[in-house]
Amino acid sequence: MKMPRTSKTSWGIIVGVAIALLVIYNAELNIIGSNLADLERESLHSLSLDKNSPTGCQWGQRSQILSADGDHWVMQTQKMLAEGGLRVRQVEYDNSPYGREVHWSSSMRWWLGGLAWLWSLASGVTLPVAVEQVALLANPLLLLLFIAVLVPLVWRWQGGLSAAVVAVCMVSVAPFVELFRYSDPDHHGLVAVFAMLTVLLLVFGGGGWVGSGEKPTGALGQGARSLARARRLFIASGMVGGAGLWVSSATQVPVLIGIGLGVVVSLGRFRRKATEGLVMEHAAPELWRWWGIAGARASIFFYLIEYFPAHLGMRLEVNHPFYAIAWWGGGELLCRYSRWVMGGDFIGSGRERVIAFGAFCAVLLMPLTIAVTGDRTFWVGDSELWALHRDYIQEFSSVFRRFSEATPTGWPTSFHPLVLLMILVSWLSVFNPLPVAVVLFGWRIFGHSQNSAMKSRLGIVLVPALLVLALACFQVRWMGTSCGLWIVVLVFLVGKMNGDSVQQCLTRRWKVLFSILALLVMLPWTSQLVAAGLTVVRGQKNYSTSSLRSAVMRDFARWLRARVGDSSAVVLSGPGATTSLIYYGGVKGVGTLYWENKDGLHAMVDIFSTPDDETAHELIKRYGVTHIVVVSWDSFAAESARLAHGLKRGQEAPSGTFVARLAKAQGYPVWLLPVNYPMPEMAELRDEFVRVYEVVSEQSHEEAALRFGELMFDRGDHADAEPYLKELVRQCPDYLPGWIMLAQVQLALERDNDFRTSLGRIQALQDGASALGLDDRIGLATVLAVFGDMDGVRREIRRCVEAVDEKGLRKLAENRLLWFVRLAQETGEGRRRPELMKLAAGLLPEEMTKQVQAISATR
């Protein structure tokens, strides 16, 4: 009894529901993500639009909260559009002042740029701003596009059931759909689909077998209908695979290797039959030659699109003609191996021998080149860069490490290894439940199949899926692509099921089992969907820790940008924080976490890990660093110390490094000026900090001590600042700025008697007031205002108004800026420079601006 023919309408409804669920999911993420806009509106530092800026905002700033990779895609796309080109090969915002190369493919930049152009036409926003806005939905739209391509393709070749399986899995298998997440524009989803199509088109092409007769018995049952059709599908697979190499050779190469191994494994069993005289009449070995030629041509085509004519080089981390040569060689060897398995010759004679030898050399060319040249052509082979990725980037961590970190410490010694293995397999199925379903499903179906050619075809789809799954166990970044390949395996099984007896394959018991497996596959995604929906319905604003930190980095980047104004700024910070500051603040950085920035990463590690301040100073001057930012969640203190000493994650890091002292605020050299950044007041961030150090010329020890006292005062640590400043004026009794700062602290602590003592000392030292800096002069005016000496206040404020410029004004702490604006208004001295006072008022946070406006209204 054959499976009942399900109407196209039914399967169409399933596909439509799957797409609707994807839309709902991303709509919920949009609503939750839009809550972060409230944090932006509550931010102390606003953003101004600027049509002349390459980002559409003043000073090259940006606003949308995206993933770290998404930040770089947006920055590079805006650079591409601003320069009027189609490619980006160099960026200046990283590894300052030298910049670094860019080897990401142009595919994602073109996608973002095309969407931005359409959105700019429709909405009227400037093109750079449109890039940021479309970046939020770029990947969900890409997934919808792929569903629109894949579902009809599968429907044509295998019917509605297979098409429904593809649609449902693509929107419900959590690791796969996460590749197309809202607000995460990235290329990983693109290359995963290219990997799927590479294998799927080979499956539709019969996997090297060609059916006989006028009517096909199914795309998977007897191979492709004709050799010509099979050739077209194999060529299409090669072209898509070449596009996958262009987008990410690191992801596509293992898939191609898996296909080759699958052919070897699946066809090996036929050699015995060939020796017995049973030649497989429906085999078509030459298809693999066509596949290799098509893939090689596509690889070279996309290489020329990306690099011709000015950037041809030997960077083997990305698509390169050596990959094309290897693919051609691999296709030729697979053709010969298939022919040999079916009873023919592998090498042949004469010209055939030369071609066979060339194919072997072509396959070996790439690995031999990497082995000989090392990190000169393959930077990923750099030991420190590899250790950094392996130990400190989440997507490079293994499932085993995730498993060990997620379980109690006693587990490894409390359970039998077999029990641990079962627990690990169960935990792995949370990441990718498809292999478990495939094992049960495939065993049931293929247990009833007598088609040897069909079973051999399974290797072509199964081996790549198994290989990438193994890679995913060691690096979870492969999990999304692994899920995509297992979806292809499911398509293969469903195609086989269409040709077998339903009663034989699917009893009621097995239908129940498959239904349970389907629910397990969808459980992680559906649970996230329900949780997101409940959050939206309840009107809750549950920010993730990463989102809050991103919001803080956005606010800090704007604060820093407002502080430096039009001046250039180069920031040295942890890798993640550096990316955020470049993206949100329009500044330059040194050490972002990308292999193209190998030099910048080495420089960051060298500066952070040195115990010697002078060595750090020399390196800082070499890289033109203007600010060092130490963030509690990305200080990179222990990490840099381990990397510098060749230690692995988990080993004790050497103490006393340069950045460790800055992170613990345990002293700093005199060429650094600590600056207070007023973090947003949130309960979730009470234990976090952002410490800022501005690189300045050499200060005297008294001045350095005074600035630290000012820092404590600005942070509100008045009780700690008082004894510190008392010690300063005890050692330097004639140091007027020290007495001024001490008097301000005593005012804050309401120590009237001590304040009068300090005031008397200030009056005695006022002959030296002419040499005061802007901060100290405003402090003196504040002290005199409290004492009631308005003539003295007017005199000092007049000096401030006459001497201050925009750069000095921007560097004032908020409390001193507020006193300056208030006293300038009260004394009327601000009328001397109205534009300057307007700028000063604009630099104040909103609540302080209201205070100033209230004062103006009473005058």
Mean pLDDT of 342-366: 86
pLDDT at residue 534, rounded to an integer: 60
Query: Which helix H or strand E contains 361, and what residues bound it?
Result: helix 351-373
Domain boundaries, the chain: 183-381+432-526
Q: Are 304 and 340 in contact (CB under 8 A)?
A: no
CA 63-66-72 angle, 5° bins = 90
Least confident of 296-305, 539-548, 608-617: 539-548
Give the C-alpha separation, 239 to 363, whole Å. Answer: 19
Three-state SS for 393?
Answer: coil
Least confident of 453-457, 627-631, 777-781: 453-457
Give yes or no for residue 291 having a pLDDT over 90: yes
The model carries a pTM of 0.88
Give yes or no for residue 611 having a pLDDT over 70: yes
Three-state SS for 86?
Answer: coil
CA 524-530-535 angle, 5° bins = 125
CA 265 to chain centre: 37
Q: Which of 815, 748, 831, 824 is nearest to 775 (CA)?
A: 815
* 226-272 per-position pLDDT tens digit: 888 899 999 999 999 999 999 999 999 999 999 999 999 888 777 66
* 191-217 per-position pLDDT tens digit: 999 999 999 999 888 888 786 433 333
Least confident of 295-304, 474-483, 507-516, 768-777: 507-516
Mean pLDDT of 469-491: 88
DSSP-derived secondary structure letter, 652: P
Give the C-alpha separation, 435 to 181, whole Å. Answer: 23
The string of DSSP codes covering 195-254 is HHHHHHHHHHTGGGBB--SSS-S-TTTS-BSSHHHHHHHHHHHHHHHHHHHHH-HHHHHH
* 710-745 per-position pLDDT tens digit: 989 988 889 999 999 999 999 999 999 999 999 999
Give the C-alpha separation, 109 to 186, whole Å. Answer: 10
Higher pLDDT, 346 or 237: 237
Three-state SS for 91?
Answer: strand
* 747-782 per-position pLDDT tens digit: 999 898 999 999 999 988 887 777 888 999 999 999
Query: Which helix H or strand E contains 707, and what residues bound it?
Result: helix 701-715
Give the C-alpha separation, 652 to 656, whole Å. Answer: 13
pLDDT at residue 130, rounded to an integer: 95
Least confident of 101-105, 172-176, 257-261, 792-796: 172-176
> In sequence order, which residues have a C-beta less than 8 Å from that of residue 108 and are 6 or more positions away?
73, 77, 138, 185, 186, 187, 190, 247
CA 154 to chain centre: 32
Which is it for the CA torsion 331, 337, 339, 341, positive or negative?
A: negative
pLDDT averaged over every residue in the chain: 82
pLDDT at residue 700, rounded to an integer: 87
* 179-196 per-position pLDDT tens digit: 998 888 999 999 999 999
Confidence grade of residue 418 (pLDDT, cut at 50, 70, 90): very low
Give yes or no for residue 285 having a pLDDT over 80: yes
